[in-house]
């Protein structure tokens, strides 16, 4: 399994959209539904609070919220800083239509926390409200599932000085980023269809992805 | 189970997009992946020729083609009249990237034909090339799966005078159309998430959909 850098992940996304005709709403739908499938294999339906950030990772979280709700999870979404893309507004509207409540803090009675705050595009120091959110998630001591990059981790260096959260499960998208080396929790590869693009992304980036068996997710460890 | 008219289906789609924030590429991705899941439960991977029409039914067929290919089917697409939306071009490009061949006739050696020619929006008499295609599909005597509306059927009156094809399996989208009353083949409801929209589409249109159990498809008969 190859671990990739943030820049490689960015290039993969560009390649998928510019040279293979993929559209962002479509990729996000595939990613979010694959994330929800992975979660539902590891956790039974329960009170679940999804914390969504302002970018694409938060968008994946919104799609995941809708699918988890369908799967019987009691889902609330905490979306402290709204993203600017119209797509995110649409995804939030879909959640509301599906009966998902938008809350103004992390739900203390939640039995599962989904961290959809930042993905591979985030760099630098965390600022509030995300610093406070990071602290709150750590204090809650509930099972945490992170989408692609755990909150507070460096995309390449990982959980530097233990500042970030300590997730029970991570779903890597496209391919695991370098920060996942040495991770000991439950690790899924969501969205494993990349290995089926011929001549492709996976060869170009030498991804060495597991052979896709038709499932929407792939458990790595 | 309620059977709906073409006009009701049109209103449902408008409702989903205008009042619940759904986007066409997203709905098409959900529909196409659900169709491929239904097909893969009834047929083993085999040589499959998907005939795509110029509208949204053809778009669903293109998405289905890509997912079936992932599931191990040897897929070719016959797309005699290209649709005009940019979305269809993107979906076709994705198929090509996935190694699907575009062919210029129905493949006689195919073991399975998927009819993604017209959906509930089609009215009136079939014209060529679709008249000829209808004839060819009937002559081939291979298993046929139709998406939503079998080729040559009236959306509400069904297979008038036996002019249309005689599919082995139909996947209805959103809800079965009136033409499906009395159909005796394998019948799936793809895309069954509508039953989970609250206050919703399903109540507004009195759809009486089966209770969604988290699966992406629902076998009706």
Please report residues of B whose CB lies closer than 8 A to that of A94: 20-22
How far apart are alpha carbons B86 and B91 in whole angstroms?
A: 9
Question: Which of A25, A33, A99 is closest, CB to CB, to B23?
Answer: A25
Rounded to a whole number, what is the distance in angstroms from the first to the last CA of chain B?
12
Kindly calculate the radius of gyration of chain B based on its CA atoms and give it in whole angstroms.
Answer: 16
Question: Among all residues of chain B, which has the CA nearest to that of A213?
Answer: B71
Task: Return the bridge partners of A49, or none.
Answer: A76, A113
How far apart are alpha carbons A179 and A6 in whole angstroms?
A: 10
How confident is the prediction for chain A on average, in pLDDT?
Answer: 92
Q: Among positive and negative, which fits the CA dihedral A160, A169, A89, A216?
A: positive
- Local structure of B170: helix, strand or coil: strand
What tokens were used for B96?
């090509």
Q: Is the pLDDT of residue A69 over 80?
A: yes
Q: Is B124 exposed, middle or buried (0-12, 13-18, 19+ CB in 10 A)?
A: exposed
pLDDT tens for chain B, 221 residues: list them: 789 999 999 999 998 999 889 999 999 998 998 999 999 999 999 999 999 999 999 999 999 999 999 889 999 999 999 999 999 999 999 999 999 999 999 999 999 999 999 999 999 899 999 999 999 999 999 999 999 999 999 999 999 999 999 999 999 998 899 999 999 999 999 876 676 676 677 788 888 777 766 677 778 87
Per-residue pLDDT at B53: 98
What tokens were used for B170?
């139909």
Rounded to a whole number, what is the distance in angstroms from the first to the last CA of chain A?
12
Measured between CB atoms, does B71 come within 8 Å of chain A?
yes
CA distances from A94 to A50, A62, A69, A184, B34 (A): 15, 9, 11, 35, 19
Question: Among all residues of chain A, which has the CA nearest to that of B214?
Answer: A71
Question: Among all residues of chain B, which has the CA nearest to that of A99?
Answer: B198
Measured between CB atoms, does B214 come within 8 Å of chain A?
yes
- What pLDDT digit, counting tens, does each position of A176-213 carry? 999 999 999 999 998 766 766 766 777 888 887 777 66
Measured between CB atoms, does B41 come within 8 Å of chain A?
no
Please report residues of B whose CB lies closer than 8 A to that of A193: 70
- What pLDDT digit, counting tens, does each position of A149-166 carry? 999 999 999 999 999 999
Per-residue pLDDT at B198: 63
Average of per-residue pLDDT across A30-43: 93
Element holding A130 (H helix, E strand): helix A130-140
List the one residue out of B10, B13, B3, B6 whose CA is nearest residue B194.
B13
Distance from CA of A185 to the nearest CA of B (A): 26
When comparing pLDDT for A221 and A15, which is higher? A15
List the one residue out of B170, B178, B179, B168 whose CA is nearest residue B220.
B170
B9 with B120: CB under 8 angstroms? yes
Per-residue pLDDT at A2: 86
What tokens were used for B107?
């493949």
Which of these ranges, A31-35, A61-65, A139-143, B189-193, has the smallest mean pLDDT? B189-193
Please report residues of B whose CB lies closer than 8 A to that of A25: 23, 25-26, 29
Task: Return the bridge partners of B158, or none.
Answer: B154
Question: Among all residues of chain A, which has the CA nearest to that of B191?
Answer: A70
Measured between CB atoms, does A212 come within 8 Å of chain B?
yes
Question: Which of B19, B30, B40 is closest, CB to CB, to A29?
Answer: B30
Which of these ranges, A78-82, A114-118, B10-14, has the smallest mean pLDDT? B10-14
ipTM for the complex shown = 0.84
Per-residue pLDDT at A212: 65
Length of chain B: 221
Distance from CA of B201 to the nearest CA of A (A): 10
Best mutation target among A28, A198, A214 (most B Cβ atoms within 10 Å) is: A214
How far apart are alpha carbons A26 and A197 in whole angstroms?
A: 16
Element holding A202 (H helix, E strand): helix A201-204
B108 with B21: CB under 8 angstroms? no
């Amino acid at each position: 399994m190859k671990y990739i850098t943030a820049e490689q992940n960015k290039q993969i996304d560009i390649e998928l959209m510019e040279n293979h005709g993929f559209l962002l709403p479509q990729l996000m739908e595939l990613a979010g539904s694959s994330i929800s499938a992975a979660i539902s294999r590891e956790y039974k339906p329960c009170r679940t609070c999804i914390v969504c950030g302002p970018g694409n990772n938060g968008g994946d979280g919104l799609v995941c919220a809708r699918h988890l709700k369908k799967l019987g999870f009691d889902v609330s979404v905490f979306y402290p800083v709204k993203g600017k893309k119209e797509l995110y507004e649409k995804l939030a509207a879909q959640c509301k239509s599906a009966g998902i409540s938008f809350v103004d803090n992390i739900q203390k009675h939640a039995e599962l926390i989904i961290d959809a705050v930042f993905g591979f595009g985030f760099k630098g120091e965390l600022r509030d409200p995300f610093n406070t959110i990071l602290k709150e998630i750590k204090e809650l001591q509930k099972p945490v599932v992170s989408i692609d990059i755990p909150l507070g981790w460096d995309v390449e260096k990982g959980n530097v000085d233990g500042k970030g959260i300590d997730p029970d499960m991570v779903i890597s998208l496209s391919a695991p980023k370098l920060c996942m080396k040495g991770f000991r929790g439950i690790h899924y590869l969501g969205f494993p269809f990349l290995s089926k693009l011929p001549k492709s992304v996976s060869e170009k980036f030498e991804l060495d992805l597991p052979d896709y068996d038709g499932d929407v997710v792939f458990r790595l460890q």
